Amino acid sequence: MNLDDFSDLIERPDGGLRRDAEERRERFVVPPGALGRLDELGEWLSAAQQAVPVRPIEQPRVLLFAGDHGVASLDVSGRAAGSAHELVRATLEGATPLAVLARRFSVPVRIVDAGLDCDPELLPEQVVRTRVRRGSGRIDIEDALTAEEAERAVRLGMAIADEEADSGTDLVVLGDLSVGGTTAAATLIAALCGTDASVVTGRGGAGIDDLAWMRKCAAIRDALRRARPVLGDQLELLATVGGADLAAMTGFLLQSAVRRLPVILDGVVSAACALVGQRAAFRAPDWWLAGQLSGEPAQAKALDRMALNPLLDHGVIVGEGSGALLALPFVQAAAALAAELPERAPASDERDEKDEERDGEETADSEGAAVGEPAGD
């Protein structure tokens, strides 16, 4: 498998239809520019859907890729190594911010186990049946995956994208449930952007103290030494310093772009996978939206490299897809406004109405004058 092959499969959203949507927007009773980014989003959706006016977002889905990372054993995370299955269980039970928001917005949630480090019996079969391997390797000293596992993970993500597209999903909110995932993500972003470990090291959604931050920075530095020699092959890069969940998410993003399925990215993990996807297929980011700023420096760097401007900046750092899900109503509002706002009456109609009013006034005046004239002999 060569991820660069996606470059020939992915097309940009329809530029002609986007121009049609822009022209239609100029005819709205609401002045152009008055709706800010809502206008831009509505036009983007028209191009993505190949529809003017845009169709409403009616079947969104939250998709979470789950996995554990061996590097978490270095105490670089606010959560214990191998505990990502607890996040999965809490989400399934409705006890996480993402689960609460999904329930409130009536959006179904799908969790895909790509590399959890737990006994399969701890979770429902529909979650764990997709697992590529149990946990990913410690990227500072060993590869996250074998070459075969990396390809399996990417193909898993591709299959999930096909399933969602075929089932009628019209927009995906993409997130992750991982422990140690931000360390792998920051390593990928630093490698692809050519930056130092300290520039991309954040404190993660769970929050870490200064000592843990220094351990995380050292782990990313060591992993970067292993990543740089394989930068020419994106699949090998994912195998070396990514992980099963990150490889699957990358496959999902690329195949979603092939299937013209729009995606809202959440935090640094999805941003890292998107950056790998961009390196493989430069048109792919045209199908993605950045839901929010997570506060992770690596995420900001990746989004800047892809020229993706986040929709929200509310200081939400909890991760797990919550920030991206908060952006969903904004996107749905853009679709509704673009589809339902009335257009101004055409100029010819306005002239006809004015002419009719003027003719009516002249008729009334002439009749009034006739009534006032003296009768003839």
Task: Give a yes or no: residue 282 inside a domain.
Answer: yes
Task: Give a yes or no: residue 37 inside a domain.
Answer: no
* 42, amino acid identity: G
Helices 244-258 and 268-280: angle between axes, nearest 10 degrees = 60
Query: How confident is the model over 37-72, as pLDDT tens digits?
Result: 999 999 999 999 999 999 999 999 999 999 999 999
* 3, amino acid identity: L
Among 233, 245, 229, residue whose Cα is nearest residue 185? 245
Task: Give a yes or no: residue 136 inside a domain.
Answer: yes
Task: Give a yes or no: residue 100 inside a domain.
Answer: yes
What pLDDT score was predicted for residue 317? Answer: 82
Tokens 């853009």 sit at which residue? 334
What pLDDT score was predicted for residue 282? Answer: 95
Which range of residues forms the domain containing residue 113? 60-328
Provide the β-strand partners of residue 178: 67
Task: Give a yes or no: residue 68 inside a domain.
Answer: yes
Tens place of pLDDT per residue across the chain (377 aa): 899 999 999 999 988 989 998 889 889 989 888 899 999 999 999 999 999 999 999 999 999 999 999 999 999 988 999 999 999 999 999 999 999 999 999 999 999 999 999 999 999 999 999 999 999 999 999 999 999 999 999 999 999 999 999 999 999 999 999 999 999 999 999 999 999 999 999 887 567 888 999 999 999 999 999 999 999 999 999 999 999 999 999 999 999 999 999 999 999 999 999 999 999 999 999 999 999 998 899 999 999 999 999 999 988 888 889 999 999 999 999 999 999 988 887 765 545 555 556 655 655 555 555 544 544 44
3-class secondary structure, 41: helix
What pLDDT score was predicted for residue 344? Answer: 82
Question: Residue 99, Cα to own-chain centre: how many angstroms?
Answer: 18
Task: Give a yes or no: residue 48 inside a domain.
Answer: no
- With 0-12 / 13-18 / 19 or more C-beta atoms within 10 angstroms meaning exposed / middle / buried, residue 358 is exposed
Question: Residue 138, Cα to own-chain centre: how many angstroms?
Answer: 27
What pLDDT score was predicted for residue 352? Answer: 52
Task: Give a yes or no: residue 161 inside a domain.
Answer: yes
What pLDDT score was predicted for residue 295? Answer: 86
Q: How many distinct structural domains can be found in the chain? A: 1
Q: How far apart are CA 192 and CA 3, in angstroms?
A: 15
What pLDDT score was predicted for residue 160? Answer: 98
What pLDDT score was predicted for residue 376? Answer: 45
Active site includes 361?
A: no
Query: How confident is the model over 286-341, as pLDDT tens digits?
Result: 999 999 998 899 999 999 999 999 999 988 888 889 999 999 999 999 999 999 98
What pLDDT score was predicted for residue 359? Answer: 59
User: Which residue in 142, 164, 320, 373 is the catalytic one?
Assistant: 320
Q: Are 97 and 322 in contact (CB under 8 A)?
A: yes
3-class secondary structure, 110: strand
Task: Give a yes or no: residue 26 inside a domain.
Answer: no
CATH code (residue 143)? 3.40.50.10210
